[in-house]
Chains A and B, each alone.
Chain A
């Protein structure tokens, strides 16, 4: 083997011995020319890891070295006049899904991280300067480093069937530092580029599809998937023959055009405002993307590459990056699909009809979800015709909204509406396989409901409760078949929140539990198995946290200070805003339950009760200038202690409280491990991935060791 620029990365590849390598498979192609003549000679590189679509292609050190060496060979062949162009495409449905995050996360030595950052540039720079034109045929998923391969090429085509195109690094905790942050804004303009690099990653990690990528100017041509590769090669042949002119109306150069430079600054400013609004400074990556974007405005590509390598090297060692990969890959993508402690799925029984006890808002949301996802009859009951009619009416109106938005076809809308019926008699549950109650949170009421339902249904029919704070065990106690009772706890709004806490009571039998897990999967929700303990996981952790903040407030900490104290965590909303959204009476009710169950750890606020008594919906009221304040009329009802805290004190207090509560929760065996707590907080409360859910963050800030004497996670 002749000397290669990629020999120097041997230490890096050796550090990652178990990489699933995406190979660079080369085939020479002669595109047909005019009149049966031979046209352009194109070396086509297919990126393929040898697995089917269930294992996406990714970029690790050995993959990039192989790509680099392959491109070196093609550069030499181009110089020898053997080929007219090089094109890169991927195995079916993927160009490349981006860097192998599991691998990158393991690069604990900053020197290895720097090498990894440099390696990408070394390989991609060849695509940008190979001596002949280079093409990327974006046939499918092109994320992060995958899209950056395409951006380094001279030309790009994209399939109209491609999904998952984007630069999600800001979401993951990195920067698009293999040339993306430099090349994309010059190709499609700074505003669109920052939408792809900042706006989309911070909007639930949104990606774009082929037609949108073409519309933005990411690709020069769009072809249908049926013969995408053939048409892309034919197009490349036409471009190489000079028969097709490639126009890039969105392309800009900030170094030569002062108007573009101004747009650049304005776009960066707008993006910074967005970052502040979305995540604050809790995660460093989005701001770092903008730092490199701005610093690269007048830089050469080589100068920008140095900035990119620096940023990547730094961020790869950041805890936020590692915790995001843990949350995103290990939890949401893996653990969520294989719930810890779930019984054998084969035990699950079919659910062909669902009953919903109650026709209030929660019950109606449940009925809609069951009808839409399970496509089985759903019957709702309530005490009178008016309530039943209102519940069924709500479902029908929601279906009509979905129809109007085009989210449901007319036939599907008709079917869904027909599936949801109502009755004032529980006799309607006679042939149901699964009945869930969503009535008032009062044990006696729920026991009464279950007794009535049991009198009607078959002995196997599952009785589920959506309770958020009551004892499932107690609910089952007096039934003839307590083994059929299971907790099935949704989060509000039901259609949006992806979590269900499945509560196993001591007598719940495996077949019932297995059916509940199968049902959750059919509903496209993630289920976590929890023990029957007050408020389970999400509400217990949330309420403990809110209790700490409310307690600090009650003791005299100014509302602004208390409510802003958690800002460094980057939670989706401040505690008081959350309390108002949940509804103060609900929050108070759950706090009281938890106080009853666990004692003084859970603060029950007299001030909050005062607000409820006065019918006040939240502490904050909007001001005319768009801010918020506590109105004097509210303030007059509140009483404060005389020991205010600083926001830093409140934050530490909260850290410690969270570490303590989660430690106790794990000790009680409520869930299988801290991973389940994290999964619950991410999916049930929307807590950010850069905290790893919560327990990696508590380890990181020292709370776990301070309170429990040890970390939740061993150093990995």
Chain B
């Protein structure tokens, strides 16, 4: 080899998503295929970035937790074909449960970093109406026989109750208050037009009804009050703390983003909106999977040579309010810190499992553009079976961009 290998900078160019729907036969995507949701996000990315020749896409990586039916058939490749990308463009499927899309991004970003790709599309989908959580899984009996995990580890709501046990300072009232704020912040972001620009309208076709058009998220409940939440059932434990109000729901949706090497972005006239600084995944006890973002963030910060104070914006997935609060408590951040989830979070907007990671990134990119004074931001999320993932990004609009590299 004559050339000296060097690591290339990876930039986030653009991200879009479908409006998120409520899973189930009452939801707006009942009757709509998961792969079609993906196809429409891919096409929208290409439409929004007309200087990118489609044949320059080197990989299409799409995550789904359940990879059967309309989420099967190696969905990265099948969606690429259905989207009309040239047949020369390859694709694959990814699974890391809730961090599927995040892993699609980090995996392909790594490929860009070592020079295997110039441009990729990464994203995720989960149609939880078509694929209810856990359907078709077959946990090895050894998990229980050998007590490898606590019996509650595979029920996400129970792991969240476990987290309340571990951190008694996080009360149900604190969790509900956080959830109310999430709803309010999302409503304000909609009001300010901060959500809509990255939504791809989706034709819906519920059985027995005519075609419709999904243009906004279905799960949000703007105007939710503490009183509204106080009386909700606690399905995972009698007199527990986890309710439908302080957790993300069961949802349908898809996301996709465009990543490129910094040089290729420059060559093709694609404007970088974020630069990838570092990322890390970490494992924790499966029965308290919600604490995963803490070790993942510590690893990612260490790799970047940054401390938590350097992070000006946080996009943390809200699987459960308690999981966010445990993260904030660990790092000494206030429950209502304005750096955290400015547009609200999954408690309000929904969490179609494998798709959510790219939603966090797309929103962080928009917040970077709104606020050039912020140099570093973070996307982080907890992951089933006891994991966390964190990606740290830099804002190209900041005056010190890439200084010290």
A residues whose Cβ falls under 8 Å from a Cβ of B: 25-27, 29-32, 35-37, 44-46, 48, 50, 89, 92, 224, 226-227, 229-230, 233-234
Contact = CB atoms under 8 A, between A and B. Distances in A.
B39 interface: yes
B227 interface: no
A227 B43 contact: yes
B40 A89 contact: no
Given A227-B203, A229-B203, A234-B201, A29 B84 contact: no
B203 A230 contact: yes
A30 B215 contact: yes
A37 B213 contact: no
Contact of B213 (A29, A36, A50, A226): A29
Contacts of A46: 205, 209-211
Interface in B192-207: 193-197, 199-203, 205
Contacts of A32: 196, 199, 201, 215
Contacts of B190: 36
B212 to A, nearest CB: 4
A50 B209 CA distance: 9
Contacts of A45: 210
B210 A44 contact: yes
- Counting from the closest, the 9 A-B pairs by CB-CB distance are A36-B193, A46-B210, A25-B210, A36-B196, A229-B203, A27-B212, A29-B213, A27-B210, A46-B211
* Residue among A48, A230, A234 having the largest count of chain B Cβ atoms under 10 Å: A230
A44 B201 contact: no
B203 A226 contact: no
Contacts of A48: 210
Interface of B: 39-40, 43, 82-84, 190, 193-197, 199-203, 205, 208-213, 215
A50 B202 contact: no
Given A226-B43, A229-B203, A50 B208 contact: yes
Contacts of B205: 46, 92
B211 A27 contact: yes
Contact of B211 (A31, A35, A89, A227): A89
Contact of B201 (A50, A89, A92, A233): A233
Nearest to A28: B212
21 contacts: A27-B211, A27-B213, A30-B213, A31-B215, A35-B193, A36-B194, A37-B193, A46-B205, A46-B209, A46-B210, A46-B211, A92-B205, A224-B84, A226-B40, A226-B83, A226-B84, A227-B43, A227-B203, A229-B213, A230-B40, A233-B201
- Interface on chain B toward A: helix, strand, loop, or mixed SS? mixed
Contact of B212 (A29, A35, A36): A29
Given A36-B194, A44-B210, 16 more contacts: A26-B210, A27-B212, A29-B215, A32-B201, A35-B196, A36-B197, A45-B210, A46-B211, A89-B211, A226-B43, A227-B43, A230-B40, A230-B203, A230-B213, A233-B203, A234-B201
Contacts of A31: 201, 213, 215
A35 B199 CA distance: 12
A229 B201 CA distance: 10
Given A36-B193, A36-B195, A224-B84, A230 B201 contact: yes
A678 to B, nearest CB: 40
A35 B39 CA distance: 24
A374 to B, nearest CB: 28
A227 B195 contact: no
B21 to A, nearest CB: 15
Contacts of A224: 84
* Residue among A25, A27, A36, A44 having the largest count of chain B Cβ atoms under 10 Å: A36
Contacts of A230: 40, 200-203, 213
A45 B194 CA distance: 31
A30 B215 CA distance: 8
Nearest to B206: A27
* Residue among B197, B210, B215 having the largest count of chain A Cβ atoms under 10 Å: B210
Contact of A27 (B39, B82, B209): B209
Nearest to B42: A226
Contacts of A36: 190, 193-197
Contacts of B202: 230
A552 B39 CA distance: 69
A222 B203 CA distance: 17
A444 to B, nearest CB: 57
B240 to A, nearest CB: 38
B151 to A, nearest CB: 44
B211 A44 contact: yes
Contacts of B212: 27, 29, 44
A36 B189 CA distance: 11
A311 to B, nearest CB: 33
Contacts of A50: 208
A233 B213 CA distance: 9
